[in-house]
Amino acid sequence: MRGFVPYLLAALICLNAGSATAAPTERLMIIGNANVPVQAIDTAELTRIFMLKRTVWPDGTAIVPVNREARSEERQYFSKQVLGRSMRSLASYWNHMQFKGFMPPVVQESDAAVAAFVRNVPGAVGYIVADKVPEGVRVLGEIK
């Protein structure tokens, strides 16, 4: 029995460590292209951008919102915490808006791809897991 305790402790430590890393989306960082003419964005403004109700930055540059792919934890967390809608109703909404002449958010398949896209495309704004600030982008806020 005594010999079993270290294994049990090790298992508990592993479980605890697992829970610490199993929720990478508890904090998301909002990032924008270095040229975006704002220093910060609150969630209300971010919602307006992703719901396509705000389409240009104050200097006239087109806003290009960037989403993660539908199955990602980040997208699900962002949809729930910021946009407050189910994935399905958002997909339906963007389909309708696309038909009406709006451009739904661009989809990128990883945090690295989002960061690269935002870095390279003027007016782009997206979200990534908040662990390390990528080079060449502007941090516009954080979602907890």
Partner 1 sequence: MGSFRGQYFGAAAAAGLMLGHAAYADDYKLGQGVRIDDLKVSGYMTVDAEVPDKGKSELLADDLSLYVQGRFNRFFNPFFEAEIAGIPLLKEGEDPLSGKTATVVLERLYNDIYLKDDLTLRIGKSLSTVGEWNGIHAGPLVPTATRPLTTYRSFSEFISGPALIYRPSDEALPVTTLYWQPAGTMSHDLDTIENRNFRNIRGVNLSWNWDLENTVGLSLQEANIKDSDESQTLAGFNAHLVFEPFVIRTEATYTWLHSPRSMRVRDHEAGIFVQGEYNLNDRWALSARYEYFQDRDYVQASKNAVFGMAYRPQPPVVWKLEYLTQWGQELGLRSGVYASLAVLF
- State which of residues 96, 112, 132, 133 lies at the interface with partner 1 (CB under 8 A): 96
Q: Is 92 a residue that touches partner 1 (CB under 8 A)?
A: yes
Structural element, H or E, at residue 31: strand 28-33
Q: SS3 breakdown of the chain: % helix, strand, coil, rounded to 5?
A: 45, 20, 35
| Residue 117 binds to partner 1 (criterion: CB under 8 A) | yes
Candidates 11-19, 72-80, 95-103, 132-140; binding stretch for partner 1 (CB under 8 A): 95-103
* 48 touching partner 1, by CB under 8 A: yes
Between 52 and 91, how does the x/- string for binding to partner 1 read (CB under 8 A)? -xxxx---xxx-x----xx--------------x--xxxx
Are 69 and 111 spatial neighbours (Cβ–Cβ below 8 Å)? no
Of 132, 131, 130, 133, give the one whose Cα is nearest residue 142. 130
For position 110 contacting partner 1 by CB under 8 A, the verdict is: no
Give the whole-angstrom CA distance, residue 71 versus residue 58: 33
Contact present, 42 and 91 (Cβ < 8 Å): no
**Choice between 25 and 79, CB closer to partner 1:** 79
Q: Does 119 bind partner 1 (CB under 8 A)?
A: no
Nearest to 126 by CA among 93, 56, 141, 88: 141
Which stretches of the chain bind partner 1, using CB under 8 A? Answer: 48, 53-56, 60-62, 64, 69-70, 85, 88-93, 95-96, 98-101, 103-104, 106-109, 117, 120-121
